[in-house]
Amino acid sequence: MVGMRRSLLAVVSLLVAAPLALAGCGDDAGKPASAAWVASGTPSAAPSGSPESGAVSAAPAAPVGDGSLHVTPVTGKKGVPVSAEIGFRLSGGKVTSVVLKDEDGKAVSGALREDGSSWVPAKPLKNSRGYVATVTAVDGAGQSRTETTSFTTMAPGGRQTGTGFYLFDGNTYGVAMPVVVEFNPGIEKKDRAAVQKRMFVKSEPAQPGTWSWTSSGTQAFYRAPKFWQAGTKLTVRIALGGLPTGGGRYGDQDRSATAKIGRSFVMSVDNKSKHMTVVESGKTVRTLPVSLGRKKFPSASGTMVVMEKKRETVFDTRNEMPAGEGYRVDIEYAQRLTWSGQFIHSAPWSGPDQGRRNVSHGCVNVSAANAKWLFDRTLIGDPITIRGTEDKLGYGNGWTPWDVSWAEFVKGSALPVPADLAAQEGQA
């Protein structure tokens, strides 16, 4: 059985700046709510890495060839976005400190990017405020240099780009949990690099990855070449508050979260055998019969992740399916896999068919007992791969970055991916 379907773009149009609870596809609650916290820390990572704390650490600066230290925003500049970073160029040497103060003399915390290209405030600056930045560096000859600049931020207002962020502070997720950010309206290709540069991800232990965009620009996913290691700590800051996002729009707010990756729990479904194999921490722990979508409503083949779990819900497809095919039914132990309405769920009515034939509307039917067993053990972000059906998973129909090869995934980055990272052997 499959839940009520609704297009992704229709759902994304409902994004707002507050913690999001979006109307969705398949049941009474729709999309999983996305996290929305104002960032209080420093950038946790950058495409090339960045400091872990508010302390400024030395980093090589980009040479300009004339021996001078150049700082941006330039002195006297007005209307500066509140997302402004303190940029600098230096002929050799390194930056040793950056101090940013507001017009009242209050210091602003922040951190250097690892590549030394700029210093990023820990949170958006305030509108219509004056700021003074002092940058100190040691040049290639060992001489200390200091440059000061002052600027004024823009007034509040302007159209916003709504953002959603599917990672909650303090939660534990499965090994295939991507970092997922949504945008409304979508980000145009020419503007994605600037936006991606402000989306920071740090993993401990380090498992470098990259962002990749869907073609519409309404979603960006972050993953490493392979599933996260069990016990990994993820620290994420989506630092888009006040950032120009194209078309005269600005990001609605900063969002951040720190989360943990739990044990490995991997599900695979083979249409030929009509069984699911469950592997936990590298060991097969159960094989259970399933019934997938019948030919008229085939299940999608591909690698998905559990996006949402509902102990009890209602599937109502009466307005979504052809006459005579729609239904309204109470469902237990439902686990969402796609936005279009593919779930794992309890289906006692198809018990005699499970392991033998496909009778559902596209979902993975399991017995009540097996549905509860799975539901009690899975985490949001646990992967499931379905193979051998008549349909293929559409990219972006759910959290789908594992449904493409690593080589294909990195092509979707708006920024250059280091060659050694891009060349790694990936999963999926």
Phi, psi torsion values for 69, nearest 5 degrees: -105, 125
Q: Are residues 195 and 76 in the same domain?
A: no
Q: What span, in angstroms and rounded, lies between the C-alpha atoms of 34 and 167?
A: 7
Is residue 1 domain-resident?
A: no
> For residues 278 and 266, is the Cβ–Cβ distance under 8 A?
yes
pLDDT on residue 14: 32
Q: What span, in angstroms and rounded, lies between the C-alpha atoms of 226 and 203?
A: 13
pLDDT on residue 269: 98
Q: Are residues 323 and 417 in the same domain?
A: no
Which SS3 state, helix, strand or coil, does residue 373 take? helix
Strand positions, DSSP E, 154-264: 159-165, 172-173, 179-184, 199-204, 210-213, 219-223, 233-239, 244-246, 249-251, 254-261
| Residue position matching structure tokens 């913690």 | 19
Please, what is the average pLDDT of the chain? 86
Q: Are residues 70 and 146 in the same domain?
A: yes
Higher-pLDDT residue of 139, 49: 139
Look at 32-41, 191-200, 400-409 and tell me which has the smallest mean pLDDT: 32-41
Domain that holds residue 270: 265-397
Q: How many C-alpha atoms does 254 have within 13 Å on its Cβ side?
A: 23
Q: What span, in angstroms and rounded, lies between the C-alpha atoms of 148 and 294?
A: 69
Look at 7-11, 196-200, 363-367, 372-376 and tell me which has the smallest mean pLDDT: 7-11
The 10 Å Cβ neighbour count of residue 52 is 16
pLDDT on residue 275: 98
Q: Rounded mean pLDDT of 90-117?
A: 91
For residue range 43-100, list pLDDT tens digits in order: 334 333 333 322 233 334 444 445 578 899 999 999 999 999 999 988 778 899 999 9
**What CATH number corresponds to the domain at position 77?**
2.60.40.3780
- H or E segment and range at residue 303: strand 300-305
Q: Are residues 226 and 206 in the same domain?
A: yes
Q: Rounded mean pLDDT of 343-358?
A: 97
pLDDT on residue 7: 34
Q: Are residues 282 and 390 in the same domain?
A: yes
> For residues 259 and 341, is the Cβ–Cβ distance under 8 A?
no
For residue range 355-410, list pLDDT tens digits in order: 999 999 999 999 999 999 999 999 999 999 999 999 999 999 999 999 999 999 99
Q: Are residues 322 and 303 in the same domain?
A: yes
For residue range 218-252, list pLDDT tens digits in order: 999 999 999 999 999 999 999 999 999 999 999 99
Q: Residues 3, 7, 227, 206: is their CA dihedral positive or negative?
A: negative
Q: CA Rg, the chain, in Å?
A: 24
Q: Rounded mean pLDDT of 301-326?
A: 86
Is residue 367 domain-resident?
A: yes
- Of 42, 150, 127, whose CA–CA distance to 81 is shortest? 127
pLDDT at 11 over 90: no
**What CATH number corresponds to the domain at position 348?**
2.40.440.10
| Residue position matching structure tokens 């009509």 | 274
For 193, the token pair is 């690099």
Q: Are residues 273 and 235 in the same domain?
A: no
Q: What span, in angstroms and rounded, lies between the C-alpha atoms of 163 and 182?
A: 5
pLDDT at 181 over 50: yes
Answer with the one of 153, 176, 210 that is the final residue of a domain.
153
Number of domains in the chain: 3
Strand positions, DSSP E, 13-143: 59-60, 69-72, 77-80, 86-90, 94-102, 107-108, 110-112, 118-121, 130-138
Q: Rounded mean pLDDT of 161-168?
A: 96
Q: Are residues 120 and 200 in the same domain?
A: no
Q: Rounded mean pLDDT of 34-40?
A: 36
Residue 12's pLDDT band (cuts 50, 70, 90): very low
Is residue 29 domain-resident?
A: no
pLDDT on residue 46: 39
Give percent of the chain with pLDDT exceeding 90.
Answer: 75
Going by their DSSP bridges, the two strands 383-387 and 300-305 should be labelled as: antiparallel
Q: Rounded mean pLDDT of 123-151?
A: 93
Higher-pLDDT residue of 15, 2: 2
Q: What span, in angstroms and rounded, lies between the C-alpha atoms of 173 and 257?
A: 13
Q: Rounded mean pLDDT of 335-355?
A: 97
Look at 27-41, 310-324, 325-339 and tell me which has the smallest mean pLDDT: 27-41
pLDDT on residue 409: 98
**What CATH number corresponds to the domain at position 220?**
2.60.40.3710
Q: H helices of 154-212, where? A: 189-196
pLDDT on residue 67: 56
Q: What span, in angstroms and rounded, lies between the C-alpha atoms of 161 and 253?
A: 9
- Of 281, 264, 286, whose CA–CA distance to 373 is shortest? 286
Q: What span, in angstroms and rounded, lies between the C-alpha atoms of 231 and 211?
A: 22
Q: Are residues 164 and 251 in the same domain?
A: yes
- Of 353, 362, 352, whose CA–CA distance to 315 is shortest? 362
pLDDT on residue 131: 98
The pTM of the full predicted model, rounded to 2 decimals, is 0.86
Is residue 75 domain-resident?
A: yes
